[in-house]
Amino acid sequence: MLIRIKDIYKIYNEGKESEVRALDGVSLEIDRGEFVAIVGQSGSGKSTMMNVLGCLDIPTYGEYWLDGTDVTELSDRQLARIRNKEIGFIFQGYNLIQELDALENVTLPLIYQGLSIFEREDRAMEALERVGMAGRAHHRPSEMSGGQQQRVAIARAIATHPPIIMADEPTGALDSKTGQHVLEILRELNREGSTIILITHDNGIAAQANRRVRLSDGKIVTDERGEEGTQA
Ligand SMILES: Nc1ncnc2c1ncn2[C@@H]1O[C@H](COP(=O)(O)OP(=O)(O)OP(=O)(O)O)[C@@H](O)[C@H]1O
Ligand SMILES: [Mg+2]
């Protein structure tokens, strides 16, 4: 079992009239090598779930084991280390640094891995090649299209060779063809062994995952396995 959360709650303004249960008693297990989509309407708790699973946010209550480690026991420093080593993040807004070119953006997470500058650039170029962006290595985000920026963001997420990739609406801002290309890259990474957790409100995108966990009002309402086979 790679990921195991049990009775997780994320409650804002607990006890007040404005209380929101972004996650309302969620339990989930994810095995190594799965491709899971977390689906649900706006406000259902998807991003909260990814932030908890990605150790970016601490739940109000509940238990979380990542690869056998009880992460609720860890210090901020230890959490940061786990994030850098185990998880590659892809965000809807790409989150690239505007002042840096593509290569520098992808090199950034490698700084904490104790590699020389030459090794870092090799790894970063390899990741950019992987997503078909080697030719734009010295372009800044403002000089790239949305789809190209998202591919650079994927390169940044995979450069450290993390076993887990978490993507929050990675295709949300892209046209359907570009979005499909991004999805193909994720599927290929999954075939090569990466565990993928994909957040989406789009059922067509979710259908291409091997498992769909549906959230509604912070609760898991369905958990289906098997591909729906609606891919292009
Ligand atoms: N800091 C906060 N304070 C109070 N409520 C919050 C906070 N962050 C999120 N929420 C609430 O928690 C609920 C879940 O939010 P979340 O961002 O996880 O939804 P989502 O499924 O990702 O939605 P979307 O598809 O719009 O991104 C929402 O009702 C939201 O308003
Ligand atoms: Mg969200």
pTM to 2 decimal places:
0.91
Using the mean position of ligand 2's atoms as its centre, give its distance from the Cα of residue 32 in Å.
24
| The pLDDT value given to residue 172 | 84
Answer for the pair 138, 118: CB distance below 8 angstroms, yes or no.
Answer: no
Using the mean position of ligand 1's atoms as its centre, give its distance from the Cα of residue 129 in Å.
35
* Residue located nearest, by CA, to atom 9 of ligand 1: 22
| The pLDDT value given to residue 196 | 97
DSSP letters spanning 47-95: HHHHHHHTTSS--SEEEEEETTEEGGG--HHHHHHHHHHHEEEE-TT--
What is the best residue among 8, 9, 12 to mutate for testing ligand 1's pocket, by most ligand atoms within 8 Å of CB? 12
| The pLDDT value given to residue 182 | 87
Using the mean position of ligand 1's atoms as its centre, give its distance from the Cα of residue 20 in Å.
9
DSSP letters spanning 162-178: -SEEEEESTTTTS-HHH
Q: What is the pLDDT of residues 21-78, one digit of tens each?
A: 999 999 999 999 999 999 999 999 999 999 999 999 999 999 999 999 999 889 999 9
Using the mean position of ligand 2's atoms as its centre, give its distance from the Cα of residue 144 in Å.
24
| The pLDDT value given to residue 228 | 59
| The pLDDT value given to residue 232 | 35
Report the chain (232 residues): mean pLDDT per 10 consecutive residues.
97 95 98 97 95 94 95 92 92 90 95 90 95 95 93 94 94 86 92 96 92 97 78 38
Using CB distances shorter than 6 Å, the residues near ligand 1 are 12, 20, 22, 40, 42-48, 201
User: Quick one: which atom of ligand 1 is closest to the CA of 48?
Assistant: 18
